[in-house]
């Protein structure tokens, strides 16, 4: 009855008020799971319905004292059909949609390219929706015991339990459900209410009997406590039992007698004759007790009503042959006898009531319903029962409730009508993913009927579209043949569409898939009226596209078919087909290596979907992100995306994306130097290729191997392992030739895998270039470039092939130095490399896909050298910075440009050369230490102390443009001028050799430069700790001036950490150092005093104490620091520490300076002492 189902709290008559249980529930309203488990008629649903009504509807003044909370109740009455997760999913989603708490639920039915478990998709979708809801929901799953024990729905329910969402889940069940709730129980996230909790206490039993048993309002009646006790004992507090006894005895003969309390009802009914223990198993007995007293027409009505799950006024009137069915139902409901009233909202109801009252519907207690149904089949013949079912089916059909009509036609064995009804609602069921119902109904039809009807075969096969495997191909083919026999074009189109899909799913050969694609294309071509069958045409185009792309037939044709499918889907406003076609198209782009196109398309369809619910979309996005991350050199991010993609591909059976994922994984390993892993992945791709019977992947595997050998060869050649490199390049060439041959087999020029074929050609050209087969390399690279120049693929391939051609021209230029064509080569190299790099820079490519880092660096260096505008220097120099292995190549390049006499290029290369040199760090605070590339320079390298002193002198005079005279005066003050100059030169040379042992003669010394007798340290290459210290302190003062106190303190703290001791403390006899040392120390102490003040203002006395102590440690005679520290101590209540500090300072002042502390210090001391005395007095009083 899903189409008219309601999800409001059922209206149940309370047996009695149960404040103890409401309080229990209310005190557990933070719990994610409430499980109410107990026998039938134990008042489980009544309790939760009653509690939720109060909890949600009461205001702040309610009896529970709780605040009115915005929580939306959603009540679901489950039946066996919800055992299937699809039906439960459908029910929950419909319920949530009715509450309006979920906004626009995008594409609830996922596109499916994979064969993974559907329940996983549904679970992900549901969790995603629940995550997005704005208002908390109380989701009640009533009659949970109706689900089969092995129901797939339990997985869905378990995921709700496991996932923290804005939802309180109420499970109401007779049995303990097969769910794992141990974890949530351990985390105190659940409340379990069971039989013993639900059972009436004696007081509750008495309360119920007194309130319920009112045979005559005119009489002042009562039940004696003994009877109450007895009833309580035999029912063990079972509310259903208490209600039944009450009902039963009210129908027996009772007598009244006076008592001392006045009119007291004495029950003479034979309570003693009742069973000793009354449980739900004895319900039949009492059902009979109640039932047998009913008039015949009522009995007849109830029996007939038992064939329905829910019954409304119209059904009662039309199907149960009674005028007063509604009255009977109302009577039973008010007596709380086995019936629940459900109120349908008008918005969801498809029918109107007879008297314009809100439509009301009833549901029997399951046990009572079974009791009634047993009575029914005893009282009427099977033919009569069939007729009753058929009448019900006809009513439902008339009311447009087709799914119910199917069920009752099936029960009435009117299979022709059932078949008609199935066909009527099949598409809707398919769209909603309710495959279980559809397949069960079709399978319930006689086999001969199904076998003769292509629609039934088609629909049945669609229900197992994902997991049907090879059988689907046969069955869709059977349907197609039958459709063709009867000339049904729409059916033929749909069957062909699904046939193509099924063939792709089971990895049929491309030629077989093409055969059915051709069939589909011919159907589309022969369709004379273009406006007919838009849906079928759209789906057929989509599946043709899928066949072309995922079936590895022809990517370009696939992309074109995707476009057709998308246009048609938009025209018929079918978002699912539009989304699926778009995803297939994005997949096609990825297969073609056009990641930019794929990314743009996925961005475009983002409003149709989201990553949470469409794994295909998510994986494609991830694959594109991996590609981008790799191109940006962010390998960590790429690795994360790869891991997520791997999980999704396996979890959702996305076999078509597997090779793409594997290829990217291998590329990632190559770029990160994990060559062995890359080769092992390539082997795995070979296995995949063999298993899928597809040589293209074999080609891809060889391409990966060629890439690996080429990259490893380049890597080794940097390390000067040239012999190994050449072996590797030869190996790369063999693999590359194999991949080209296999890609070629696939069909060069057919448009299938062209971009990959030509990318393989680029690689082949690069490998040949490395082996100095320049002519062959040029042929390969030119062929590739001509293809990429047509604009069919992404710009990155164009750029790298163009750049590779430039590199090749440069190599030829080098080789033909004595030849007249050398200028031509140079000119071409310059043009090609600059064009490639400028475009790459404009389009944001920081890496190329195929070219090894070594070859890429050479291209970048050449680009920088060639670029007269200097724009590439700034843009590309970060790619070279710190790459010391480039030094040899830059040196070679410099030689070439020296020969050409291009001074500007030489200067640019020199600049780059400097950037590749290791960095020098000089520590002067708390001990002198020079480190190159974080490696300390050993003492024996220095050739004496003078080079060190020379460096110290440069540092003392602020490192920039220090006059050599000043340095000579510092180090050799007494030497004659000539001798001083000579010593300076010798020691400057020694110093430079220490810092730069392998100096490049063309570039000269880089770390220490001298111009016009002034010496400087290169600020980009050399870092001195005092500069860092002063810069940090300055930033601290600047932040403080802007009132950014926390930022200021952070800078100061870092500066304080830098000051690890006095400046060049080991040089205690050099006056020129003393001045600098004192100045730095003053600066340091001043900063510490400021820090202490700021911390004190921030009411952080302990930090203030810490920095004041540091100030005293740096200068033990700094009286102001003592004063401030005394004040901070006193303010913090540490008077003793303050006075002790004063005494300490007094001793130091007398001993070191021969004076008493300053008057101000003494005053501070006195004030603190007075404070102490006052405190003492206070204590004494």
Query: Residue 658 interacts with another protein (CB under 8 A)?
Result: yes
Query: Residue 745 interacts with another protein (CB under 8 A)?
Result: no
Regarding beta strands 962-963 and 1008-1011, do their DSSP bridges make them parallel or antiparallel, or are they unpaired?
unpaired
Task: Indicate the residue among 558 and 653 with the shorter CB distance to another protein.
Answer: 653
Task: Indicate the residue among 365 and 645 with the shorter CB distance to another protein.
Answer: 645
Stretch of residues binding another protein (CB under 8 A), selected from 652-660, 858-866, 950-958, 973-981 = 652-660
Smallest distance from another protein to CB 643, Å: 13
Quick one: tokens of 70?
């915005």
Interacting residues with another protein between 319 and 358 (CB under 8 A): none
Query: Residue 684 interacts with another protein (CB under 8 A)?
Result: yes
Query: Residue 56 interacts with another protein (CB under 8 A)?
Result: no
Number of neighbours of residue 741 by Cβ within 10 angstroms: 13
Compute the Cα dihedral for 576, 578, 583, 585 and give only its sign: positive
Of these, 692, 835, 838, 1172, which contacts another protein (CB under 8 A)? Answer: 692
Query: Residue 472 interacts with another protein (CB under 8 A)?
Result: yes
Stretch of residues binding another protein (CB under 8 A), selected from 99-107, 283-291, 504-512, 795-803 = 504-512
- State how far the Cα of 968 lies from the Cα of 673, in Å rounded to an integer: 51
Regarding beta strands 920-923 and 929-932, do their DSSP bridges make them parallel or antiparallel, or are they unpaired?
antiparallel
Stretch of residues binding another protein (CB under 8 A), selected from 623-631, 689-697, 813-821, 1047-1055 = 689-697
Query: Residue 693 interacts with another protein (CB under 8 A)?
Result: yes
DSSP 8-state class, residue 200: P
Of these, 507, 591, 830, 1076, which contacts another protein (CB under 8 A)? Answer: 507
Stretch of residues binding another protein (CB under 8 A), selected from 42-50, 264-272, 643-651, 855-863 = 643-651
Q: Is 272 left (phi over 0), alpha (psi -120 to 50) or beta?
A: alpha
Of these, 248, 345, 509, 695, which contacts another protein (CB under 8 A)? Answer: 509
- State how far the Cα of 825 lies from the Cα of 1111, in Å rounded to an integer: 68
| Sheet containing 1014-1017: order of strands | 962-963, 1014-1017, 1008-1011
Number of neighbours of residue 587 by Cβ within 10 angstroms: 29
Query: Residue 546 interacts with another protein (CB under 8 A)?
Result: no
Beta bridge partners of 34: 170, 191
Query: Residue 505 interacts with another protein (CB under 8 A)?
Result: yes
Task: Indicate the residue among 446 and 693 with the shorter CB distance to another protein.
Answer: 693
- State how far the Cα of 993 lies from the Cα of 985, in Å rounded to an integer: 12
Query: Residue 700 interacts with another protein (CB under 8 A)?
Result: no
Smallest distance from another protein to CB 481, Å: 18
The DSSP-derived string for 642-668 is HHHHHHHHHHTT-GGGHHHHHHHHHHH
Query: Residue 470 interacts with another protein (CB under 8 A)?
Result: yes
- State how far the Cα of 820 lies from the Cα of 818, in Å rounded to an integer: 7
How many residues at the interface with another protein, by CB under 8 A?
29
Stretch of residues binding another protein (CB under 8 A), selected from 72-80, 505-513, 955-963, 1028-1036 = 505-513
Rounded to the nearest angstrom, the gap between the alpha carbon of residue 156 and the centroid of all alpha carbons in its chain is 19
Smallest distance from another protein to CB 485, Å: 24
Smallest distance from another protein to CB 465, Å: 11
Stretch of residues binding another protein (CB under 8 A), selected from 19-27, 179-187, 682-690, 947-955 = 682-690
- Using an 8 Å Cβ cutoff, are 768 and 733 in contact? yes
**CA Rg, the chain, in Å?**
44
Smallest distance from another protein to CB 619, Å: 13
Task: Indicate the residue among 506 and 888 with the shorter CB distance to another protein.
Answer: 506
Stretch of residues binding another protein (CB under 8 A), selected from 91-99, 477-485, 644-652, 771-779 = 644-652
Task: Indicate the residue among 354 and 691 with the shorter CB distance to another protein.
Answer: 691
* Residue 615: C-alpha distances to residues 92, 182, 574, 880 (Å): 21, 30, 20, 39
Of 1093, 1078, 1081, 1076, which is closest to residue 1036 (Cα–Cα)?
A: 1093
Of these, 10, 110, 615, 653, which contacts another protein (CB under 8 A)? Answer: 653
Task: Indicate the residue among 508 and 614 with the shorter CB distance to another protein.
Answer: 508
Query: Residue 468 interacts with another protein (CB under 8 A)?
Result: yes
Number of neighbours of residue 1146 by Cβ within 10 angstroms: 17
Stretch of residues binding another protein (CB under 8 A), selected from 179-187, 507-515, 566-574, 733-741 = 507-515
Quick one: tokens of 538?
């759209």
Smallest distance from another protein to CB 152, Å: 12
Query: Residue 212 interacts with another protein (CB under 8 A)?
Result: no
Task: Indicate the residue among 334 and 470 with the shorter CB distance to another protein.
Answer: 470
Quick one: tokens of 343?
């109120």
Query: Residue 467 interacts with another protein (CB under 8 A)?
Result: yes
Smallest distance from another protein to CB 115, Å: 5
Stretch of residues binding another protein (CB under 8 A), selected from 466-474, 699-707, 773-781, 800-808 = 466-474
Query: Residue 115 interacts with another protein (CB under 8 A)?
Result: yes
Of these, 69, 354, 452, 691, which contacts another protein (CB under 8 A)? Answer: 691
Task: Indicate the residue among 486 and 506 with the shorter CB distance to another protein.
Answer: 506
Task: Indicate the residue among 325 and 653 with the shorter CB distance to another protein.
Answer: 653
Stretch of residues binding another protein (CB under 8 A), selected from 13-21, 200-208, 462-470, 553-561 = 462-470
Quick one: tokens of 219?
């009489």
Query: Residue 178 interacts with another protein (CB under 8 A)?
Result: no
Beta bridge partners of 167: 137
645 contacts: CB under 8 Å, gap ≥ 6: 619, 622, 623, 626, 657, 661
Query: Residue 633 interacts with another protein (CB under 8 A)?
Result: no
Of these, 183, 471, 1082, 1136, which contacts another protein (CB under 8 A)? Answer: 471
Q: 333-336: long-range contacts at Cβ-Cβ below 8 A with a sequence spacing of 24 or more?
A: 333/13, 333/362, 334/13, 335/247, 336/13, 336/15, 336/243
DSSP 8-state class, residue 67: P
* Helix axes 534-550 and 555-571, enclosed angle (nearest 10): 160
Query: Residue 53 interacts with another protein (CB under 8 A)?
Result: no
Smallest distance from another protein to CB 42, Å: 34
Query: Residue 688 interacts with another protein (CB under 8 A)?
Result: yes
- State how far the Cα of 254 lies from the Cα of 949, in Å rounded to an integer: 121
Smallest distance from another protein to CB 670, Å: 17
Of these, 506, 888, 903, 977, which contacts another protein (CB under 8 A)? Answer: 506
- Using an 8 Å Cβ cutoff, are 968 and 983 in contact? yes
150, burial (CB in 10 Å: exposed 0-12, middle 13-18, buried 19+): exposed
900 contacts: CB under 8 Å, gap ≥ 6: 826
Which helix (DSSP H) or strand (DSSP E) does residue 471 occupy?
Answer: helix 470-485
The DSSP-derived string for 762-801 is HHHHHHHHHTT-HHHHHHHHHHHHHHHTTT-S-HHHHHHH
Of these, 43, 116, 863, 1157, which contacts another protein (CB under 8 A)? Answer: 116
Query: Residue 977 interacts with another protein (CB under 8 A)?
Result: no
Query: Residue 512 interacts with another protein (CB under 8 A)?
Result: yes
* Residue 639: C-alpha distances to residues 302, 304, 629, 853, 880 (Å): 66, 65, 9, 19, 24
Of these, 690, 903, 1117, 1150, which contacts another protein (CB under 8 A)? Answer: 690
Query: Residue 687 interacts with another protein (CB under 8 A)?
Result: yes
For binding to another protein (CB under 8 A), which residues are involved? 115-116, 464, 467-472, 505-507, 509, 512, 646, 649-650, 653, 655, 658, 681, 684, 686-688, 690-693
């Amino acid at each position: 009855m899903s189409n008219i189902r309601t999800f409001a709290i059922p209206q149940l008559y309370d047996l009695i008020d149960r404040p103890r249980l409401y309080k229990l529930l209310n005190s557990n309203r933070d719990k994610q799971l409430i499980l109410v488990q107990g026998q039938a008629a134990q008042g489980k649903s009544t309790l939760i319905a009653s509690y939720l009504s109060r909890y949600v509807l009461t205001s702040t003044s309610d009896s529970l004292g709780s605040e009115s909370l915005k929580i939306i109740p959603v009540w679901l009455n489950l039946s066996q059909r919800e055992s299937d997760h699809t039906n439960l999913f459908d029910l929950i989603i419909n319920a949530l949609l009715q509450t309006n708490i979920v906004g626009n639920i995008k594409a609830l039915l996922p596109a499916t390219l994979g064969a993974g478990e559907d329940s996983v998709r549904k679970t992900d979708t549901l969790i995603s929706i629940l995550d997005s809801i704005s208002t908390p929901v109380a989701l009640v799953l009533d009659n949970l015991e109706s689900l089969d024990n092995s129901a797939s729905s339990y997985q869905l329910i378990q995921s709700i339990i496991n996932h923290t969402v804005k939802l309180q889940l109420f499970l109401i069940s007779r049995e303990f459900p097969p769910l794992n709730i141990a974890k949530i129980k351990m985390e105190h996230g659940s409340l379990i209410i069971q039989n013993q909790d639900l059972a009436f206490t004696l007081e509750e039993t008495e309360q119920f009997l007194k309130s319920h048993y009112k045979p005559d309002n005119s009489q002042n009646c009562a039940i004696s406590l003994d009877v109450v006790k007895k009833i309580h004992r035999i029912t063990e507090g079972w509310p259903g039992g208490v209600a039944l006894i009450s009902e039963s005895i009210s129908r027996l003969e009772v007598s009244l007698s006076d008592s001392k309390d006045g009119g007291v009802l004495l029950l003479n009914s034979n309570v003693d004759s009742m069973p000793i223990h009354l449980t739900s198993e004895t319900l039949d007995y009492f059902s009979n007790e109640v039932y047998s007293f009913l008039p015949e027409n009522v009995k007849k009505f109830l029996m007939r009503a038992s064939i329905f799950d829910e019954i409304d006024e119209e059904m009662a009137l039309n199907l149960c042959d009674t005028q007063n069915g509604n009255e009977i139902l109302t009577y039973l409901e008010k007596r709380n006898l086995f019936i629940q009233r459900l109120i349908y909202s008008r918005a969801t109801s498809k029918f109107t009531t007879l008297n314009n009252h809100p439509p009301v519907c009833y549901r029997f207690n399951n046990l009572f319903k079974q009791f009634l149904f047993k009575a029914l089949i005893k009282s009427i013949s099977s033919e009569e029962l069939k007729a009753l079912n058929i009448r019900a089916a006809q009513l439902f059909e008339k009311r447009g409730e087709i799914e119910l009509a199917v069920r009752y036609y099936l029960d009435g064995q009117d299979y022709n009508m059932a078949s008609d009804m199935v066909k009527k609602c099949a598409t809707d069921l398919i769209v909603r993913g309710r495959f279980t119902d559809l397949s069960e109904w079709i399978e319930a039809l006689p086999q001969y009927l199904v076998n003769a009807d292509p629609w039934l075969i088609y629909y049945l096969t669609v229900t197992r579209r994902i997991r049907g495997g090879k059988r689907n191909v046969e069955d869709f083919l059977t349907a197609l043949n039958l459709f063709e026999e009867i000339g049904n074009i729409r059916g033929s189109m749909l069957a062909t569409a699904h046939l193509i899909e099924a063939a792709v799913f089971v990895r049929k050969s491309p030629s077989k898939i093409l055969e059915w694609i051709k069939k589909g294309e011919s159907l589309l071509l022969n369709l004379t009226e273009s406006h007919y069958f838009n849906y079928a045409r759209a789906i057929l185009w989509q599946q043709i596209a899928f066949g072309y792309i995922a079936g590895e037939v022809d990517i370009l044709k696939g992309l074109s078919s995707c476009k057709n499918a998308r246009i048609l889907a938009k025209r018929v406003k079918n978002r699912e087909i539009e989304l699926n076609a778009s995803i297939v198209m994005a997949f096609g782009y990825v297969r073609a290596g056009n990641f930019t196109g794929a990314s743009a398309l996925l961005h475009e369809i983002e409003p149709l979907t989201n990553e949470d619910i469409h794994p295909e979309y998510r994986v494609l996005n991830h694959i594109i992100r991996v590609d981008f991350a790799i191109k940006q050199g962010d390998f960590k991010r790429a690795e994360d995306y790869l891991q997520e993609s791997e999980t999704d591909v396996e979890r959702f059976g996305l076999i078509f994306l597997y090779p793409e994922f594997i290829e990217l994984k291998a590329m990632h390993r190559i770029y990160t130097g994990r060559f062995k892993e890359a080769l092992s992945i390539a082997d795995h791709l070979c296995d995949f290729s063999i298993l899928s019977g597809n040589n293209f992947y074999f080609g891809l595997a060889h391409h990966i191997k060629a890439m690996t050998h080429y990259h490893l060869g380049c890597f080794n050649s940097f390390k000067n392992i040239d012999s190994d490199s050449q072996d590797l390049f030869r190996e790369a060439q063999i693999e590359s030739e194999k991949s080209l041959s296999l890609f070629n087999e696939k069909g060069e020029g057919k448009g299938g895998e062209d971009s990959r074929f030509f990318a393989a050609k680029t690689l082949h050209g690069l490998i040949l270039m490395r082996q100095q087969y320049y002519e062959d390399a040029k042929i390969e690279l030119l062929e590739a470039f001509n293809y990429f120049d047509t604009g069919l693929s992404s710009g990155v391939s164009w750029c790298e092939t163009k750049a590779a051609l430039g590199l090749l021209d440069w190599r030829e230029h080098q080789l033909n130095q004595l030849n007249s064509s050398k200028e031509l080569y140079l000119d071409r190299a310059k043009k090609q490399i600059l064009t490639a790099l400028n475009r790459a820079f404009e389009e944001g490519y920081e890496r190329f896909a195929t070219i090894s880092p070594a070859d890429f660096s050479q291209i970048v260096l050449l680009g920088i050298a060639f670029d007269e505008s200097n724009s590439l220097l700034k843009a590309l120099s970060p790619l070279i910075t710190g790459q010391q292995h480039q030094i040899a190549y830059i040196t070679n390049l410099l030689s070439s440009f020296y020969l050409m006499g291009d001074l500007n290029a030489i200067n640019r290369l020199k600049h780059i050369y400097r950037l590749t040199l290791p960095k020098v760090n000089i520590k002067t605070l708390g001990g002198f230490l020079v480190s190159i590339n974080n490696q300390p320079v050993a003492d024996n390298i220095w050739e004496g102390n003078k080079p060190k002193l020379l460096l110290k002198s440069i540092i003392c005079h602020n490192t920039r443009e220090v006059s050599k005279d000043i340095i000579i005066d510092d180090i050799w003050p007494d030497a004659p001028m000539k001798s001083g100059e000579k010593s300076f030169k010798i020691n400057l040379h020694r110093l430079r050799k220490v810092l730069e042992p392998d100096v490049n003669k063309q570039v000269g010394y880089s770390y220490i430069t001298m111009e016009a007798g002034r010496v400087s340290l290169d600020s980009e290459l050399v870092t001195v700790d005092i500069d860092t210290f002063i810069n940090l302190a300055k930033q601290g003062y600047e932040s403080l001036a802007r009132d950014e106190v926390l930022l200021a303190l952070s800078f100061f703290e870092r500066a304080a950490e830098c000051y690890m001791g006095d400046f060049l403390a080991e040089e205690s006899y050099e006056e020129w150092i003393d001045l600098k040392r004192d100045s730095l120390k003053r600066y340091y102490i001043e900063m510490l005093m400021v820090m202490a003040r700021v911390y004190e203002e921030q009411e952080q006395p302990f930090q203030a104490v810490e920095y004041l102590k540091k100030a005293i440690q740096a200068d033990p005679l700094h009286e102001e620091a003592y004063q401030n520290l005394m004040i901070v101590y006193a303010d913090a209540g540490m008077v003793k520490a303050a006075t002790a500090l004063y005494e300490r300072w007094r001793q130091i002042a007398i001993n070191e300076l021969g004076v008493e502390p300053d008057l101000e210090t003494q005053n501070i001391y006195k004030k603190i002492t007075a404070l102490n005395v006052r405190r003492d007095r206070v204590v004494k009083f």
